Amino acid sequence: MWRERAFMAVLLLLVHKIHGGCPPSSCGKISNISYPFRLKGDPEKCGEERYELGCENNVTVLYLYSAKYHVQAINYKKNTVRVVDPALQHHNLSSLPLRFLSRSNFSDTYTQKYFYQSDPYQAGLRASVNWESLSFSHIVFVNCNHSVREKEKYVESGEWVKWEGKGYSYAIGGDLKAEDLEVGCEVKLVAPTSLSTYNNHSYTSMHTALAYGFEISWMQLACQKHCPVFYKDCYFDSSKQKLKCRQALLNNGTVSILQLYISLFNIAFFLSAMNK
C-alpha cells in the first residue's frame, strides 16, 4: 500500500503548491470564495477558470449554460453551491425564472461515472450506482385550454401567471409524468428547487421554493482531487459529511499495471486542468 500512499502524498503537495497562498475572496453575502472557485480579477493561480464567479452590483454571480445565476450559499464540505435565477423575487408571485432548466440538463443524470464528464457541475453527489442525489425537485408550469382544477396535482397560478393572456395556468410540484399531462395542456416552463419542504398544494409555497434556489455540485472535480489513485468509487457519505473512496484492488491486495496507468492519466488530467 506504500505506493498508493506515496502517490497521494505527492499529489496533495502539488495541489497545495499550486493553490496555496490564496486567501478567500468575497462579494456581497458570499464571503468564503475559495478553491475550486475564483472571483473574477483574482490572481491566475487561485481557483479554476471554469469555476470563475462574477461580482455584479455586490452580488456573486455563477455562469451556467451561458446564463447568470445569483449565488446564495457555498458548502465546501458537501461540494455544493446553491443558486437562484435572478428574475425571481421573493414577494412577487408573478416573477418567474427566465430559463427552462431541469435535472436532464446535467450530464450525470444519465451516466453513472463523473470522471470522464466535462461539465463542471453535476446534479448529484455520487459517481456510482445507487448514488445519493441532491435535493433537486421541479416546479412545472402548464397552460391549459380548459379548466383542470379538479386534478389534485394542478395548483392554480392564473391569478399571478398568464401565458399569452389566455387559457388556464397551473403549477405542479415535483416531476410530471407523461400520463399526468392532461389533454389540452402544454408545459410552458420547468424550474428546479432544492427546498424539499414546500407545500405542493400551495402556489405561494411553490414560488417560495423557487426563490430559495437549487443546489448543484462539483463532485467530478472533488473526486479527482480526493480519490485520484486506484479509486473504484467516489461518493459523499451524508452520515459523516465527507467524501469517501473505495479502492480497486486485485485479490492479492496489489494494484494492477492497468490501474497504475489509469491513475497516472487521471493525475495528469487533473493537474493540467488546474494549470489552465
Residue range(s) defining the domain that contains residue 132: 38-271
Is the pLDDT at 196 greater than 90, yes or no? Answer: no
- 122, amino acid identity: Q
Assigned domain for 157 exists:
yes
Nearest to 136 by CA among 215, 61, 203: 215
Q: How confident is the model at residue 228 (pLDDT cuts 50, 70, 90)?
A: low
pLDDT in the model for residue 93: 96
Assigned domain for 27 exists:
no
Range 143-155 average pLDDT:
91
The torsion region of residue 25 among left (phi > 0), alpha (psi -120 to 50) and beta comes to beta
Range 6-16 average pLDDT:
47
What does the pLDDT look like over 80-98, one tens digit per residue?
999 999 999 999 999 999 9
Q: How many CB atoms lie within 10 A of CB 250?
A: 9
What is the rounded distance in angstroms from the CA atom of residue 22 to the CA atom of residue 32?
12
Assigned domain for 102 exists:
yes
Assigned domain for 33 exists:
no
Q: How many CB atoms lie within 10 A of CB 114?
A: 24
pLDDT in the model for residue 213: 96
Q: How confident is the model at residue 131 (pLDDT cuts 50, 70, 90)?
A: very low
pLDDT in the model for residue 78: 87
Assigned domain for 127 exists:
yes
More confident: 123 or 257 = 123
- 274, amino acid identity: M
More confident: 190 or 107 = 190
- Cα–Cα distances in Å, from 173 out to 53, 83, 179, 189? 30, 19, 15, 12
3-class DSSP state of 204: helix
Q: State what percent of residues in the chain have pLDDT above 90.
A: 47
pLDDT in the model for residue 173: 93
More confident: 114 or 59 = 59
pLDDT in the model for residue 255: 47
What is the rounded distance in angstroms from the CA atom of residue 218 to the CA atom of residue 178?
31
With a CB cutoff of 8 Å and minimum separation 6, the contacts of 253 are 1
Assigned domain for 22 exists:
no
Q: How confident is the model at residue 240 (pLDDT cuts 50, 70, 90)?
A: confident
Whether the CB-CB separation of 266 and 273 falls below 8 Å is answered with no
What is the rounded distance in angstroms from the CA atom of residue 59 to the CA atom of residue 118?
27
Global confidence as pTM:
0.77
Range 55-78 average pLDDT:
94
Cell numbers for 209, please give them.
421554493
- 172, amino acid identity: I
The per-residue DSSP string of 131-178 comes to: PPBP--EEEEEEEESS--TTSTT-EE-TTT--STT-SEEEEEES---G
Q: How confident is the model at residue 254 (pLDDT cuts 50, 70, 90)?
A: very low
Nearest to 245 by CA among 265, 228, 264, 231: 231
Assigned domain for 14 exists:
no
Assigned domain for 163 exists:
yes
Total number of domains in the chain = 1
